[in-house]
């Protein structure tokens, strides 16, 4: 049984609107995804009748909210197949999660002369926190390059994993080229040399099942708003034994055990990493989004998107003078392309007025653009609520854009 | 109404015939194509106004008390808007540019393109055009005094 797309689309109220009197064709899911009605209702309900700070309040509302927050943590645990809810830290998003690890892991394990290994296709948020760490510690940032198809050159991975490498930080899927990286292979090779691995799943979790135990990664991060949940929330998964050893990232309320001016002791996991009043509405909303995904079926979503990707690639390939950047064999439904010498900003403006929302520019991956010697691309990023009909509208829109601009 | 504002009104009237957004863009593309590119010697980092999404180059001279603008963009629709700005402000005295408000961009529904978050260089370009006017005005005043 495939997906009932009509039903699914009606679950997302934003999708049925018109923009500039044209039906909205939303193909900017790589930037953020839309929210199903259940998530919207949950946020509203939490504000209307449940709002209360979590963990420390002894009263009814606080009890209720705390219960739902911790239930959301359990939902995330099950979603990632982690061993324990202690391994699930709620953060402000994938960026917040990476910064947490770059700081806490860096404080504990990285010193002058050590190396951090990332890849050439990383989002800026999986580059800059590591650069900042390298600057703090006098460590070195090393990069796994990719080939013309946008696939990692794993043949040189062994060389890049040296005695000084402390951690590998790698995207599960590329936000600008759509490549799915063979993270399991990288993790195995790194672990063979006793090197920790962080996987940035911001562009992967919304496209299918992820199992952190099967991957055996040390850290896994993602953002709520890219997986149909509220913005401003995200997840850091870390192996419990590793998280135990790391110092906290930020100090504040809730992350402490005893505080005096002489000495402070820290709370246990996962609270040690959740300083301050956390975004409980975001976390609970994320939990509801994950439950919604389960009800649709992650496997069904993956196979539907695979089919939609095939269709999209076929359509785009038939457009003359359109060049796709990123042709990995294993990919998510994210497509970057250029229309001959047409400026991406011009194309974005015109497609917008046809009701088509795409992203133009560098997609926070300037090194990827430098690799190809281009200033940016047009990116269409699809999820399971997108349809073949929308791809037809996109293809027609591209043709019209090229007509206008050439 | 000042002559300057009348010129702005003319631009708004020109655009009012287009009901469809794509027709407006088509017109801007035409204007962009018709605007001669900037003299290559000014197409350099020194005259570049960098936006994250598109680039604009701008240079101005003062000839007989009037500003002569030379401008360009790498995106054609942005260049069309650049052409409108140049059309309005070219051969104006510095005080004309400084004393009149820029209203036509709103009038033709292109305000979004001048938003600071659009990062296409246009807002910075408008500021730079006024800066040129201010600088040349100050220079003229100095010359009068000395």
**For A135-153, what is each residue's pLDDT tens digit?**
999 999 999 999 999 999 9
* pLDDT at residue number B117: 66
According to DSSP, the β-strands at A377-381 and A334-339 are antiparallel
A120 CB contacts (<8 Å, ≥6 apart)?
A: A143, A144, A145, A146, A367, A368, A371
Q: How far apart are the first and last CA of chain A?
A: 44
- 8 Å CB contact of A349 and B77: yes
* pLDDT at residue number B144: 84
Residue range B120-142: mean pLDDT, rounded: 89
* pLDDT at residue number B119: 63
**Helix A388-405 and helix A344-353, axial crossing angle in degrees, nearest 10:** 120
Q: For residue A279, which of A45, A82, A58, A93 has the smallest C-alpha distance?
A: A93
A236 CB contacts (<8 Å, ≥6 apart)?
A: A88, A89, A91, A96, A97, A100, A101, A219, A220, A221, A273
Q: Count CB atoms within 10 A of the CB of residue A130.
A: 25
- Length of chain B equals 146
User: What does R_g of chain A's alpha carbons equal in angstroms?
Assistant: 22
- 8 Å CB contact of A353 and B76: no
* pLDDT at residue number A248: 96
* pLDDT at residue number B49: 86
Whole-angstrom distance, CA of residue A70 vs CA of residue A75: 9
* pLDDT at residue number B52: 66
Between these two residues, B102 and A394, which has the higher pLDDT value?
A394
pTM of the model: 0.94
* pLDDT at residue number A20: 92
Whole-angstrom distance, CA of residue A254 vs CA of residue A277: 7
Whole-angstrom distance, CA of residue A161 vs CA of residue A115: 9
Residue B115 near chain A (CB below 8 Å): no
CA distances from A212 to A2, A83, A233, A266, B68 (A): 27, 9, 20, 27, 63
- 8 Å CB contact of A404 and B77: no
- 8 Å CB contact of B29 and A404: yes
Tell me which chain B residues have a C-beta less than 8 angstroms from the C-beta of A346.
29, 75-78
With a cut of 50, list the residues of chain A below it in pLDDT.
none
Tell me which chain A residues have a C-beta less than 8 angstroms from the C-beta of B26.
404
Q: How does DSSP classify residue A48?
A: I
Whole-angstrom distance, CA of residue A160 vs CA of residue A157: 5
Token look-up 């359990």 returns A74
A19: helix, strand or coil: strand
Per the DSSP assignment, residues forming a β-bridge with A235 are: A90, A222
Q: Give the range among A358-372, B83-97, B112-126 with minimum mean pLDDT.
A: B112-126
The H or E element containing residue A16 is none
Of the residues A345, A400, A402, A405, the best mutation for testing chain B's interface (the one with the most B CB atoms within 10 Å of its CB) is: A345
* pLDDT at residue number A275: 94
State the complex-level ipTM. Answer: 0.87
* pLDDT at residue number B1: 85
Q: Categorise residue A246: left if φ over 0, alpha if ψ from -120 to 50, beta otherwise.
A: beta
Quick check: A254 and A278 in contact, CB under 8 A?
yes
* pLDDT at residue number A331: 97
According to DSSP, the β-strands at A334-339 and A322-325 are antiparallel
* pLDDT at residue number A57: 81
**Helix A344-353 and helix B21-34, axial crossing angle in degrees, nearest 10:** 160
Quick check: A103 and A249 in contact, CB under 8 A?
yes
69-98 in chain B: CB under 8 A from chain A = 74-78
Whole-angstrom distance, CA of residue A29 vs CA of residue A334: 9
* pLDDT at residue number A156: 97
A177 CB contacts (<8 Å, ≥6 apart)?
A: A121, A146, A150, A325, A326, A328, A334, A336, A368
At residue B113, does pLDDT exceed 80? no
Tell me which chain B residues have a C-beta less than 8 angstroms from the C-beta of A348.
53
**For B27-72, what is each residue's pLDDT tens digit?**
999 999 999 989 899 999 999 987 767 889 999 999 999 999 999 9
CA–chain centroid gap for B99, Å, is 16
* Domain locations along chain B: 3-145
Residue ranges of domains in chain A, CATH in brackets: 5-30+297-405 (3.90.1150.10), 40-294 (3.40.640.10)
Domain B3-145: give its CATH architecture: Alpha-Beta Complex (3.90)
Of the residues A22, A124, A344, A349, the best mutation for testing chain B's interface (the one with the most B CB atoms within 10 Å of its CB) is: A349
pLDDT band (50, 70, 90) for residue B122 = confident
- Helices of type H across A164-262: 183-192, 212-215, 240-245
């Amino acid at each position: 049984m495939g997906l009932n797309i009509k039903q699914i689309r009606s679950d997302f109220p934003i999708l049925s609107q018109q923009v500039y009197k044209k039906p909205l064709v939303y193909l900017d899911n790589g930037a953020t995804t839309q929210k199903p009605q259940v998530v919207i209702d949950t946020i509203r309900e939490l504000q209307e009748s449940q709002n209360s700070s979590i963990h420390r309040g002894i009263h009814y509302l606080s009890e209720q909210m705390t219960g739902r927050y911790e239930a959301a943590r359990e939902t995330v645990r099950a979603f990632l197949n982690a061993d324990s809810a202690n391994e699930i830290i709620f953060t402000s998003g994938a960026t917040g999660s990476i910064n947490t690890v770059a700081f806490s892991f860096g404080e504990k394990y990285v010193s002058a002369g050590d190396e951090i290994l990332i890849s050439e296709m990383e989002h800026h948020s999986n580059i800059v926190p590591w650069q900042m760490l390298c600057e703090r510690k006098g460590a070195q940032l090393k990069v796994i390059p990719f080939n013309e198809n946008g696939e990692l050159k794993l043949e040189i991975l062994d060389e890049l994993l040296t005695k000084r490498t402390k951690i590998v930080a790698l995207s599960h899927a590329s936000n600008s080229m759509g490549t799915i990286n063979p993270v399991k292979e990288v993790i195995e090779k790194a672990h063979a040399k006793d090197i920790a691995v962080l996987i940035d799943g911001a562009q992967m979790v919304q496209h299918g099942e992820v199992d952190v135990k099967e991957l055996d990664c040390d850290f896994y991060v993602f953002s709520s708003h890219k997986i149909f949940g509220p913005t401003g929330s995200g997840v850091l998964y870390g192996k419990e034994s590793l998280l135990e050893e790391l110092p906290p990232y930020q100090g504040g309320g809730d992350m402490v055990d005893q505080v005096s001016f002489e000495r402070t002791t820290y709370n246990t996991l996962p609270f040690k990493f959740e300083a301050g009043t956390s975004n409980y509405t975001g976390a609970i909303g994320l939990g509801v989004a994950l439950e919604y995904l389960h009800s649709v079926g992650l496997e069904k979503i993956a196979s539907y998107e695979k089919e939609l990707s095939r269709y999209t690639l076929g359509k785009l390939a038939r457009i003359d003078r359109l060049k796709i950047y990123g042709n990995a064999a294993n990919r998510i439904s994210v497509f970057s392309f250029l229309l001959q010498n047409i400026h991406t900003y011009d194309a974005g403006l015109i497609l917008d007025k046809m009701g088509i929302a795409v992203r133009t520019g560098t997609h926070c991956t300037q090194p990827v653009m430098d690799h190809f010697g281009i200033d940016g691309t047009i990116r269409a990023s699809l999820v399971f609520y997108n349809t073949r009909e929308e791809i037809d509208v996109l293809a027609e829109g591209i043709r019209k854009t090229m007509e206008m601009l050439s | 109404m000042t002559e300057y504002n009348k010129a702005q009104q003319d631009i708004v009237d020109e655009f009012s015939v287009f009901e469809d957004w794509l027709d407006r863009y088509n017109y801007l593309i035409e204007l962009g194509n018709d605007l001669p590119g900037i003299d290559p010697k000014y197409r350099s980092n020194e005259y570049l106004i960098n936006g994250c999404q598109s680039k604009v180059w701008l240079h101005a001279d003062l000839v007989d008390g009037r500003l002569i603008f030379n401008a360009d963009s790498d995106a054609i629709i942005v260049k069309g808007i650049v052409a409108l700005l140049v059309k309005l402000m070219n051969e104006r005295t510095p005080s004309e540019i400084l004393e009149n408000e820029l209203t036509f961009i709103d009038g033709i529904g292109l305000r979004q393109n001048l938003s600071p978050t659009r990062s296409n260089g246009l807002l910075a370009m408008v500021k730079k055009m006024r800066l040129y006017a201010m600088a040349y005005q100050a220079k003229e005043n100095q010359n009068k005094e000395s």
